[in-house]
Chains A and B, each alone.
Chain A
Amino acid sequence: MTSIAIDEATAPHLDDLLSDQAINDPDTYFRRCREDSPVRWNDRWHGWIVTGYDEVVVGFRDHRRLSSDRFRGPFARDLAETRTRYAELIEFMSRWMFTSDRPYHTHLRSLVNAAFTPRSVERLRPRIHELVRDLAEPLRGGRVVDFMAEFAFQLPVIVIAEYLGIPPEARNDVRKLSEDLGALIFVQGSSGDRFANGEKAKNGLVEIIRPVVQARTDAPQDDLISAMVHADLDGDRFTEDEVISNAVLMVFAGHETTMNLLANGVTAFSRFPDQWELLRSDPDGLARRATEEVLRLAGPIKANARWAREDIELGGQQLKANDRVLLVQHAAGHDPAAFADPDRLDISRWPNRHVAFGSGIHTCLGAPLSRLEAQEAFAFLAREFASVEVVTPRITYVPNLVSHGPTELDVRFHS
């Protein structure tokens, strides 16, 4: 992208994480933050915004001093009002690994990890290939398609539902409910509606998943819920409620994120047609690196929040106990100290140590599955189509701190 000189008088305030620039041009916005300070106090968010690559990596790895626990510390105060009204929902969410600290996190993560192995994911490759091929049918013929609805939305939800073992007839309900639950998790604030809808969605998903868990307890099948129910590490096992909570987590966490990864990839290739050409020259050989590069340039998760358990020094700043900390993965991937020409898509970039999946003990569990889906999709689309053209005149992105994905994306694939 051409760099645009920013007029200090008209540039959006650096404290406004939801400004048009922050949401729709995060490369520029977070560059401005990083240039001001890679660890910068934000008065409006009331916390530290971490945008330097090294500082983000250190922040993710230091789980001992930077807590993920949303139900204690400064984030818990946001929940004070909702805690009593939505006690059951909060209880349900407290069994999620991504918002828990050690030692409870170790129990959850290790058991899920024993079930959700890269090898068990790799076994899905032929099925994912088949799904990509079928879902790509409507993209043919050079017509303008709603890429989110027709493709990006479909693939991840079918894959995760099949992998978990959720019956196909429940798939449409799962899709809708997981969107509603995602709205609760990905958006800041704590308005009543959001919690009410989130609770309804959670209850709906539990109603679908609990019978599956109960059926698999007596009669395991070759699916993830069975593997979770029967996971046993030296006598450490899941309770039924933990299996249900974490199965629900996987449904919504694996759904919106992979959808946005696919959409952001198509957007990036439309901006950098030479890279599409390059991918077409060897789709199977280059799909892996292309996927990592899309994750770096425009990963589906912009940032993750933490809070300091004690006073710590990070990037030359003194963080105080109970301070909020926002680790901005998107900004880390665009730090020129870590990546040459960072705002450019370069699918031959290697090594590519982006932190789109985080780092440390909370590193995205679904990373192998998300990678596999994106690799299969990008390779197939590159093989089939000579070019990809985004038709939406100006892409706008969902206005929240956490996720990065277009609100709509009309695309034309040329054969």
Chain B
Amino acid sequence: MKDAQPHPAVDPGQRPRAVVDHELCAGVSQCLRAAPGAFQLDEHLLSVFVPTGEYTLDELEQAAEFCPMGAISLVDGIEVAGD
């Protein structure tokens, strides 16, 4: 994935987060089903991650796996105990 955007820096211990690459996202909206609290559509009907939303790590992983465009990645290096 040499064209993926760099991940923003994240403090250890923070909640798991995702990034949506808008070069790849086509607004298929499968992530909204997998993790309804974590994603919403912007004015172009493309998906954006909502860091303040209600979601679990499982849901985020499913959203990333089911994205047919491969547009969602989880921010590296996050291990959340007990999530």
A residues bordering B, Cβ < 8 Å?
A: 61-62, 106, 109-110, 113-114, 116-119, 233, 350-351, 353, 357-361, 363, 365, 367-368
Q: Which 4 A-B pairs have the closest CB atoms?
A: A61-B45, A363-B26, A359-B26, A363-B28
Q: Give A361 to B45 CA distance when docked, in angstroms.
A: 10
Q: How far in angstroms is the closest Cβ of chain B from A250?
A: 13
- Annotate B57-78 by CB proximity to A: 1 below 8 A, 0 otherwise: 0000000011111100000000
CB-CB under 8 A for A361 and B69, given A61-B45, A350-B3: no
Q: Is the interface of B mostly helix, strand, loop or mixed?
A: loop
- Annotate B11-41 by CB proximity to A: 1 below 8 A, 0 otherwise: 0000000000001001111100100000000
CB-CB under 8 A for A113 and B30, given A61-B44, A353-B23, A360-B45: yes
Contacts of A61 in B (CB 8 A): 27, 44-45
Minimum CB distance partner of B41 in chain A = A61
Q: Give A351 to B17 CA distance when docked, in angstroms.
A: 25
The size class of the interface chain B forms with chain A is: 10 to 19
Q: Give A168 to B26 CA distance when docked, in angstroms.
A: 35
B residues bordering A, Cβ < 8 Å?
A: 3, 23, 26-30, 33, 44-45, 65-70
- Known contacts A350-B3, A363-B27, A365-B68; 16 further A-B pairs (Cβ under 8 A): A61-B27, A61-B45, A62-B45, A117-B66, A117-B68, A118-B67, A233-B33, A351-B23, A353-B23, A358-B26, A359-B26, A360-B28, A361-B27, A361-B28, A363-B68, A368-B70
CB-CB under 8 A for A359 and B3, given A113-B66, A368-B68: no
Contacts of A116 in B (CB 8 A): 68
> Are B69 and A117 closer than 8 Å at their CB atoms?
no
Q: How far in angstroms is the closest Cβ of chain A from B68?
A: 6
Contacts of A109 in B (CB 8 A): 30
Contacts of A118 in B (CB 8 A): 67-70
> Are B69 and A363 closer than 8 Å at their CB atoms?
yes
Contacts of B30 in A (CB 8 A): 109-110, 113
Q: Give A358 to B26 CA distance when docked, in angstroms.
A: 8
Minimum CB distance partner of A118 in chain B = B70
> Are A119 and B27 closer than 8 Å at their CB atoms?
no
